[in-house]
């Protein structure tokens, strides 16, 4: 067994509200290895994003903590790059300049101007955005914006890439394209990834392990499913694969039987 890369220990968080503290998470324990692809799945409002934000350092845990390579996470940093749900590109900068902002920050001194340019272009090529890298966000489609968001995160050369429903706002075809791109990139770079998703197929297709969360308040990890399918994975071939469908139904059973969302 390889070494633990990222470790969440007894993580819990309370948010102050006018009606007293609200406990969103409790006793979240998770050990992630280098190069693993983890999906967080659960009903909306179960605290998936909160977990991600704690790992990102945007929220501080009330108790417990996060260790990255044995060092405690207490603030945001580019070694834990985030791909945001709604791309969060700066609208006044081109795709290239958006990635450049990140590259300038992370490789301030370690790369020369020419090396930086090459690195920015390399990352935009990786997400197939080299043809439109001098366009601004309002000139490109939603899928393309998300690609640039991924390029920006990759360009930080992060230890862990955190993706908050990266494809949630996209149509099914664009989403499939981006999932394929992501698998391709993952094969090449072998990043550690934590991705939040609502999409069961997406989770099974992309993940090494699927972390299923119970409903809040005081949400925690319900079950962890290891997806033992060989890489590279092909969505068409897997559609009729009994193992794949078994994993799929496992997740569905968790979401719709064990943790059925009670509508208020």
- Residue 219 DSSP class: B
Q: Which of 63, 11, 62 is nearest to 32 (CA)?
A: 11
Nearest approach, Cβ of residue 82 and another protein (Å): 5
SS3 category, 198: coil
- Residue 256 DSSP class: I
* Dist. CA 166–CA 37, nearest whole Å: 14
Nearer Cβ to another protein, position 86 or 174?
86
Nearer Cβ to another protein, position 35 or 78?
78
Contacting residues toward another protein, per CB under 8 A: 56-58, 75-78, 80-82, 84, 86, 88, 90-92, 101-102, 105-106, 136, 138, 156
Q: 81 near 156, Cβ under 8 Å? A: yes
Nearest approach, Cβ of residue 58 and another protein (Å): 6
Q: 116 near 103, Cβ under 8 Å? A: yes
Nearest approach, Cβ of residue 87 and another protein (Å): 9
Nearer Cβ to another protein, position 67 or 101?
101
CA atoms within 13 A on the CB side of 72: 8
Nearer Cβ to another protein, position 56 or 213?
56
Nearest approach, Cβ of residue 83 and another protein (Å): 10
């Amino acid at each position: 067994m390889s070494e633990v890369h990222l470790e969440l220990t007894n993580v819990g968080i309370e948010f102050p509200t006018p009606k007293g503290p609200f406990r969103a998470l409790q006793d979240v324990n998770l050990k992630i290895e280098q190069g693993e692809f983890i999906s967080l799945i659960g009903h909306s409002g179960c605290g998936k994003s909160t977990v991600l934000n704690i790992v990102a350092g945007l929220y501080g845990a009330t108790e417990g903590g996060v260790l990255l390579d044995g060092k405690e996470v207490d603030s945001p940093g580019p070694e834990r790059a985030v791909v945001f749900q709604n791309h969060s590109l700066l609208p006044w900068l081109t795709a290239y300049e958006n990635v450049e902002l990140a590259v300038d920050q992370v490789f301030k001194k370690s790369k020369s101007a020419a090396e930086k340019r090459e690195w920015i272009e390399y990352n935009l090529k990786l997400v197939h955005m080299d043809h439109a890298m001098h366009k601004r966000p309002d000139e490109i489609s939603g899928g393309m914006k998300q690609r640039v968001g991924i390029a920006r995160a990759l360009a930080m050369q992060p230890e862990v890439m955190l993706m908050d429903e990266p494809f949630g706002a996209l149509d099914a075809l664009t989403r499939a394209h981006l999932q394929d791109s992501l698998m391709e990139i993952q094969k090449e770079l072998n990043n550690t990834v934590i991705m939040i998703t609502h999409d069961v197929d997406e989770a099974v297709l992309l993940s090494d392990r699927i972390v299923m969360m119970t409903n809040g308040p005081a949400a925690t990890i319900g079950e962890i499913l290891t997806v033992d399918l060989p890489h590279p994975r092909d969505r068409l071939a897997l559609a009729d694969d009994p193992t794949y469908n078994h994993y799929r139904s496992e997740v569905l059973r968790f979401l719709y039987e064990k943790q059925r969302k009670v509508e208020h």
